[in-house]
Amino acid sequence: MAQENKNTSNIVDFKKELRDRESEIELLQDTFRLVASELNLEKVFDIVAKRAIQLVGAETLLIPILDKNNETYTYRAGAGKNTNEIIGESLPLDFGVCGWVWKNKKPWWRGTLKELDEKEHTQWEKEAGTLILVPLQGRKDFLGGIAAINKKNSLEFSRRDLNMLTLFAGIVSIAIENALAVKELEKTQNSLITHQHKLNILNKQYSESNKKIEQLSLYDSLTGLPNRTLLRDRIDRQLSIFTQNDEIISLLIIDIDNFKSINEALGHDKGDQILIEFCKRIKNHLKINETLSRLGSDEFILFLPRTNLKKTIIRTNSIFNELKAPYIINNKEFNVNASIGISTYPENGKDRKTLLRHADIALNIAKKRHSKYHIYNNREDETDESQINLSIDLNNAFNENQFELYYQPKIDIKSNSIVSAEALGRWIHPERGLISPIIFIDALEQYNLIDKYTYNIIESAVNTINQWSKDEHNIKIAINISTHTLMDPNFINQVKKRIPDFSISRKLIFEITESLFLSDHEYIFDTLTRLRSLGIELSIDDFGTGYSSLSRLKRLPVNELKIDQLFIRDMMTNFDDQIIVKSIIDLAHNLGLSVVAEGVETQEILEQLKEMGCDIAQGYLIAKPMPAMEFEVFLKN
């Protein structure tokens, strides 16, 4: 009976064990199936923890995972008792059983104690009985482990539990490794997206400030009209559009009579008020396609496409009508008169420059004859007296060495030391006295004498460099190179001819203007690169007034950027200007260019520029342009 009972209980035990084994295998298979297709790390952890706790009958199950720093591990998931307090906790790797498992790359259980030396035995004894921890080994790296704590019903974990959990860990480790990798990928992708996002914002800011600079540099700040630069672009563009249809186009230069005396009599503020009102009146009657822009202080240009001579005359008279009414200033009435010079396409010229020149001549004739307006007549170009005089005078100027170079210092803002000098042309006319370069450079260009003039001043600057070097002044000289000369096919050779060696060319800076970048890019790039290879530094002059797209500059081998004095002058009172100056400085620095501020007239502006990180300053505050000899004296003081 007893035997039978024992047999029966054996069979029951055996059946139970079989069932347990079957359900264990089922659990393992099921787990494997579940995690194999799961890439979400949190879900994988959840499945693993819940299955493992069931598998070994533990009170608590934890999954410690090695952190990326390889110095700590974090309990990333768990199931059972007290896990909430532990999950998320990070511990140093050499702390606790986890560190032991990581170091020894084998599972920990109570039996492990037997393998330890006495010291370790004592150290780990307390933790041993209640814990098994099996390693999670990925394909390449050690991932962490699965820890089962406290067998239920106050039992101890058996070797079988250890083997089962080891088998289980082997099955799920690859799934955990994959899910960890996916998570990591998502993280970097997210940071990539945030990076991309930040980059987009930066790019947007960049293009906005660029736009802002362009906006402010293409429009006249007083009247809001397109300025000379934008006008040039518009005329060129419209000429190419309208001329395809054999259209007649008229160009009107409108000039206020005696504006100088109005300004002097009423003051600049009132003068500005009149200018604003004046152009408002014309602007109010503009038709589609007509463009009004400001050419200079009291000169405006009106561009009339799709017209003919008769229509132009009617339009001109309507403008006079609009301008006729008196202007009220300080409750008093003022009459402001204007004169208009007109040229038409194709009759008086086929390109912008010729049309503008002829409209200008027509304007002078209108003024001389007090005839309100004058339409250019093709016979007038050659017979205009003042033009002939100027051309004779210019030729004399060369023969009699009437041109001279004045020098204006540029200082390093941080150290306050003079780093270079800009050479500025002066024409000492025997009868008219000192003539401004603004006038004679234009005239030289018009009479095709600018190349000759530029090569002369290069020679003269080289002599000055030699002279200053003898006196041990280590100062560079900047020369203004007009675009016309830079485009001369012989330019590089002519420059080379005048520069004896590298020690001189190293001290030369060529200032070029932005308008250059509208021309043939390849050719300019080549020329600039060759200048750089001679050791000559390149500087972009009057930056901000032209087509100031910095992205275009990025590709050119230039060293320096000069912010136009227009922006510097009003910097302390005009917030827009301040923003422009600051963004030009920042953007230029990003492109590796050094920045010069021109027209620095007050200490306050200099301080502000210093704060903004501007590198170099030039302006009346430091010194006005002066003859070379005087400059030497200035250097010694």
Residue of the chain from 464, 480, 482, 527 that contacts Ca ion (CB under 5 A):
480
Q: Under the criterion CB under 5 A, does residue 511 sit at the interface with Ca ion?
A: yes
The structure tokens listed for 80 are 């059972």
Would you say 298 or 541 has its CB closer to Ca ion?
A: 541
Task: Choose from Ca ion, ligand C2E, none: what does 425 bind? Cβ within 5-8 Å by kind.
Answer: ligand C2E
Q: Are 27 and 54 in contact (CB under 8 A)?
A: yes
Inter-residue contact 131 to 147 (CB < 8 Å): yes
Residue nearer to ligand C2E on the CB measure, 327 or 543: 543
**Residue closer to Ca ion, measured from CB, 113 or 623:** 623
Question: Taking CA 494 as the corner, what is the angle to CA 489 and CA 496, rounded to the nearest 5 degrees?
Answer: 120
619 binds, among ligand C2E, Ca ion, none (CB under 5 to 8 A by kind): ligand C2E
How many residues would you count in the chain?
Answer: 637
Question: Cβ closer to ligand C2E: 301 or 424?
Answer: 424
Q: Which segments of 346-416 are extended strands (E)?
A: 373-375, 403-412
Task: Write the binding mask 428 to 467 for Ca ion: x where contact by CB under 5 A, - elsewhere.
Answer: ----------------------------------------
Query: Which of these segments, 208-216, 452-460, 479-487, 553-561, binds Ca ion (CB under 5 A)?
Result: 479-487
Nearer to ligand C2E, 499 or 606 (CB): 606
Phi, psi of 235, rounded to the nearest 5 degrees? -60, -45
Q: Please report how close the Cβ of residue 413 comes to ligand C2E at its closest, in angstroms.
A: 15
Which does residue 438 touch among ligand C2E, Ca ion, none (CB within 5 to 8 A, set by kind)? ligand C2E
Judged by beta carbon distances under 5 to 8 A according to partner kind, the member of Ca ion, ligand C2E, none in contact with residue 364 is none
User: Site residues (CB under 6 A) for ligand C2E?
Assistant: 408, 424-425, 436-438, 441, 457, 480, 482, 541-542, 565, 598-601, 618-620, 625
Report yes or no: 443 and 357 within 8 Å, Cβ to Cβ.
no
Residue 418 zone, left/alpha/beta (φ > 0; ψ -120 to 50; rest): beta
* Contact call for residue 537 and Ca ion (CB under 5 A): no
Q: Work out how close the CB of 259 gets to ligand C2E at its nearest, in angstroms, rounded to a whole number.
A: 20
Find how far residue 627's CA is from the centre of its chain.
Answer: 38
Binding residue count for Ca ion, defined by CB under 5 A: 5
Work out how close the CB of 375 gets to Ca ion at its nearest, in angstroms, rounded to a whole number.
36
**542 near Ca ion (CB under 5 A):** yes
CB of 541 to ligand C2E, least distance (A): 5
Q: Say which entry of ligand C2E, Ca ion, none residue 457 contacts (CB below 5 to 8 A, set by partner kind).
A: ligand C2E
Stretch of 2-10, 252-260, 464-472, 505-513 lying at the interface with Ca ion (CB under 5 A): 505-513
Q: What does DSSP assign to residue 306? A: E
Parallel, antiparallel or unpaired: strands 537-543 and 299-307: unpaired
Q: Residue 161 and residue 444: Cα distance in Å, rounded?
A: 100
Instruction: Indicate which of ligand C2E, Ca ion, none lies near residue 475 (CB less than 5 to 8 Å, by partner kind).
Output: none
Q: Which is nearer to Ca ion, 360 or 542 (CB)?
A: 542
State the angle between helix axes of 491-498 and 450-470 in degrees (0 to 180), rounded to the nearest 10: 30
Stretch of 164-172, 178-186, 360-368, 476-484 contacting Ca ion, by CB under 5 A = 476-484
Give the burial string for 620-637 (b: 16+ CB within 10 Å, else e): ebbbebbebeebbeeeee
Under rule CB under 5 A, residue 545 binds Ca ion:
no
Cα angle value 89/95/97 (rounded, 5°): 95
Q: How far is the CB of 511 from Ca ion (least distance, A)?
A: 4
| 8 Å CB contact between 131 and 148 | yes
Q: Least distance from C-beta 187 to ligand C2E, angstroms?
A: 53
Q: Are 589 and 595 in contact (CB under 8 A)?
A: yes
599 interface partner picked from Ca ion, ligand C2E, none, CB below 5 to 8 A per type: ligand C2E
Give the nearer residue to ligand C2E in terms of CB position, either 61 or 479.
479
Q: Does 541 bind Ca ion (CB under 5 A)?
A: yes
> Hey, which bits of 138-241 come out as E strands?
142-151
- Is-cis flag, bond preceding 107, omega within 30? no
Rounded to the nearest 10 degrees, the angle between the axes of helix 41-56 and helix 159-218 is: 170
544 binds, among ligand C2E, Ca ion, none (CB under 5 to 8 A by kind): none
Amino acid at 443: A
Q: Shortest Cβ distance from residue 484 to ligand C2E (Å)?
A: 9
Choosing among Ca ion, ligand C2E, none, which partner's interface includes residue 620 (Cβ < 5 to 8 Å by kind)? ligand C2E
Of 63-71, 281-289, 484-492, 506-514, the segment contacting Ca ion by CB under 5 A is: 506-514
Largest CA distance in the chain: 147
Q: Which residue has the tokens 């934890």?
A: 62
Report the partner that residue 482 touches, choosing among Ca ion, ligand C2E, none (CB closer than 5 to 8 A by kind).
Answer: ligand C2E
- The DSSP string of 47-80 is HHHHHHHHHHTEEEEEEEEE-TTSSEEEEEEEEE
State in angstroms the smallest separation of the CB of 328 from ligand C2E.
32
Query: Taking contact as CB under 5 A, which single stretch among the options 147-155, 214-222, 357-365, 511-519 is the one that binds Ca ion?
Result: 511-519
- For 177, 253, 385, the CA distances from 381, given in Å and listed in that order, are 86, 16, 9
Single out the residue of 546, 529, 548 nearest to residue 538, CA to CA: 529
Contacts of 611 (CB under 8 A, 6+ apart): none
Tell me the C-alpha distance between 219 and 412, whole Å.
Answer: 31
Q: Kindly state the smallest distance separating residue 341's Cβ from Ca ion, in Å.
A: 28
Of 176, 157, 162, nearest in space to 76 by CA? 176
Instruction: In angstroms, give the least distance from the CB of 434 to Ca ion.
Output: 18
Residue 96 binding result from Ca ion, ligand C2E, none, given CB thresholds of 5 to 8 Å by partner type:
none
Q: By the criterion CB under 5 A, which residues form the site for Ca ion?
A: 480, 511, 541-542, 598
